[in-house]
C-alpha cells in the first residue's frame, strides 16, 4: 500500500474541496492511503512537494489548485511557473500527478473540479499512482 501526499494550493476553498474529494476518492479506491498538506497558492506547490519528497514519508504526490485568469499578467506567471516547478520535480523522478486547474472562469473550474463531472482531482491522483507504478517497475 502506497502513502500519497495531496498538496493543495488552498486559494478557492469550494473548488479545492471538490479537487481533494476526487483525489482522495481515487487514492482510497485504489487501496492506498493519503494525507493532505495545504499551501497558500499554486506557486508554493513545487517547493512544498520538493521539501516533502526529501522526507521519504510519501510514495507519490498529487498537486491540486485552481488558477483563474484575471485582468493582469499574474495568471500566466502563476500557471506557467507552478507547472514548470512540478515538471522539474517529475523529471527528477518524483511521482506527481498535476491537478492544478488553469481556467478562464469559475464555471470552467467547477466542471473540472467536481468529482461528478470531469474529476480532475481524481485524474491527477490516478496519474500519480501510474507514475509510482512505472517507477517501481523500473526498479
Per the annotation, binding residues for (2S)-2-hydroxy-3-oxobutyl phosphate are: 71-72, 112
Q: Is 74 a catalytic residue?
A: yes
Catalytic residue among 3, 14, 32, 74: 74
Q: Which residues are annotated as a binding site for 5-amino-6-(D-ribitylamino)uracil?
A: 11, 42-44, 66-68, 98
Binding-site residues, please? 11, 42-44, 66-68, 71-72, 98, 112
C-alpha cell at 85: 516547478
**Long-range CB contact pairs, 78-85, < 8 A, 24+:** 78/41, 78/42, 78/43, 79/42, 81/43, 82/9, 82/42, 82/43, 82/45, 82/46, 84/46, 85/43, 85/45, 85/46, 85/47
Q: To the nearest 10°, the Cα dihedral for 18, 26, 5, 89?
A: -100
Report the C-alpha gap between 111 and 136 in whole angstroms. 33
Point out the residues that are catalytic.
Answer: 74
Amino acid at each position: 500500500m502506497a502513502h500519497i501526499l495531496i498538496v493543495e494550493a488552498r486559494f478557492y476553498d469550494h473548488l479545492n474541496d471538490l479537487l481533494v474529494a476526487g483525489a482522495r476518492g481515487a487514492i482510497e479506491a485504489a487501496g492506498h492511503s493519503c494525507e493532505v498538506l495545504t499551501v497558500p497558492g499554486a506557486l508554493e506547490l513545487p517547493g512544498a512537494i520538493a521539501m516533502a519528497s526529501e522526507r521519504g514519508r510519501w510514495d507519490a504526490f498529487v498537486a491540486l489548485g485552481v488558477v483563474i485568469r484575471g485582468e493582469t499578467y499574474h495568471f500566466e506567471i502563476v500557471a506557467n511557473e507552478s507547472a514548470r516547478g512540478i515538471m522539474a520535480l517529475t523529471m527528477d523522478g518524483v511521482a506527481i500527478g498535476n491537478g492544478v486547474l488553469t481556467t478562464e472562469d469559475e464555471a470552467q473550474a467547477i466542471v473540472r473540479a467536481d468529482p461528478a463531472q470531469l474529476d480532475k482531482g481524481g485524474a491527477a491522483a490516478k496519474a500519480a499512482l501510474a507514475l509510482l507504478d512505472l517507477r517501481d517497475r523500473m526498479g
